[in-house]
Chains A and B, each alone.
Chain A
Amino acid sequence: MTAMIEIRDAEKTFTMHLQGGVKLPVVSGVSFEVDAGECLVLAGPSGAGKSSILKMIFGNYRCDGGHIGVRHHGALLDIARAEPREILSVRRATIGYVTQFLRAVPRVPTIDVVAEPLLAVGISRDEARDRAAKLLRAVNIPERLWSLSPSTFSGGEQQRVNIARGFISDHPILLLDEPTASLDQKNRDIVVELIAAKKRAGVAIVAIVHDDEVRQAIADRIVDVTTFAAAA
């Protein structure tokens, strides 16, 4: 098995300068590996630092110590020390990140919101739209909505558009933050099937899911984040 993610002793502390320099330790000693085709689920109560760990892997939060190795174009790159443009390259080619919230850009039609990650890696507009259409159909977004901006959609619809956007790329690593929160049973099952397909394709996944049923269905391994609790 090839490890796609290798995290060693990663740690994160927020310093709140506007509140008298209070230090908020989030996690420390975070260490785990994720292989290709494996789904690791981060578990723990809210506030334990699960989302912070995903954000550190994505390079959205800075890492204050340790290493976050990510296999990018065949070799390990340490996200904790990477240059901004290396992280951008990782996001284009290697890591996809799906949250429950869609950051909609005004005026861009839904089909293009979903197709955009493919355009960014140089896939033609026609092919990108074809693949976007297929995914939008899979997550039950009616075709009459595709030409509209998702900013006016319901919460559940926006979330499914976001899932389509997150799953369209062929990234070898996927980070999922509550992808099924607030979805109904039918749509939850669809997302579980999309995740299973990614695993079969060899994608390494790190997920946060609260729903027990979904967790049972997708997890190969569960890591308890409270073991990384930072000493306050």
Chain B
Amino acid sequence: MAETNGMSAHDQPLLAAEGLSKNFGRLAACRDVSFTLYPGEVLAVVGESGSGKSTLLQLLSAQLAPSGGRVSYCMRDGVMRNLATLGEAERRFLFRTDWGYVHQDPAQGLRMAVSAGANVGERLMAVGWNHYGRIRNTASNWLERVEIDTARIDDAPRTYSGGMRQRLQIARNLVTEPRLVFMDEPTGGLDVSVQARLLDLVRGLVTELGLAAIVVTHDLAVARLLSHRVMVMKSGRVIESGLTDQVLDDPREPYTQLLVSSILPP
């Protein structure tokens, strides 16, 4: 009965991983991971620390070379390309425009000593914007969208709170209208009230911009709120995957059942 999809517009995958593996010496950090991500889809990768989720994210975003398997990405011209065969210029293009990468620690994704406006504007300049007024306007727009008071545009993120820094990092990533955003524990270091606000914001932006995202998190609540699909990792392997609410409400694997049952009720 697979004839009824009605999704032809989205039938071209954005990213495909095939048999991805990564060994660090004798340690297999990532084993035989395969999946396909479509435009507008949000995939959560969950599992405990040490399960291989962060290694997977680095493989997918071409920051780490796989020991086996490959990652293909649909370039803006519609052609699927193996990331390992891209030239340096093409890879840089992806990083500057087509992709975003939100680090758990905003200090890794921001330049802490330059102004918030410059942090956002820098990505625009990297793709050829050169009109100061337009750059400043766009940066200020984005600060508003991530709920940062535009009066703080000239302040450096070192003077910002943790939640503001994380929102600024998101603005910096989204300003070039990427098609795919990688997020590594985006709410990791934030307290609970700030987390809710950030998740709500990210959720809104993802829907509004039709972004695809791969979110690594150990927090099943984050996965439930943000993602359409989830992959559960243990010891470098994907042990269960599917629709997020299906995996969380009807977990099959012993490890997934353990993860789900370990959530403390609010």
Contact = CB atoms under 8 A, between A and B. Distances in A.
A61 B249 contact: yes
Interface string A44-75: 00000000000100011110000001001111
Given A60-B250, A107-B197, A85 B228 contact: yes
| Interface SS majority for chain A | mixed
A85 B41 contact: yes
Interface in A19-67: 55, 59-62
B196 A107 contact: yes
B253 A89 contact: no
Interface in A73-89: 73-78, 81, 84-89
Contacts of B258: 17-18
Given A55-B249, A60-B249, A61-B249, A17 B257 contact: yes
Nearest to A76: B1
A1 interface: no
Count class of interface residues, chain A:
20 to 34
B134 interface: no
Quick one: which of B2, B196, B243 has the most chain A CB within 10 A? B243
Interface of A: 14-18, 55, 59-62, 69, 72-78, 81, 84-89, 93, 105-108, 119-120
B228 A77 contact: no
30 contacts: A18-B254, A18-B258, A55-B250, A59-B246, A60-B245, A60-B250, A62-B246, A73-B4, A73-B5, A75-B3, A76-B1, A76-B4, A77-B1, A77-B2, A77-B4, A84-B229, A84-B243, A85-B41, A85-B228, A86-B7, A87-B243, A87-B246, A89-B5, A89-B6, A105-B200, A105-B203, A105-B225, A107-B197, A108-B200, A120-B207
| 8 tightest A-B CB contacts, nearest first | A17-B254, A75-B4, A73-B6, A84-B243, A78-B1, A106-B196, A61-B250, A77-B4
Contacts of A105: 200, 203, 225
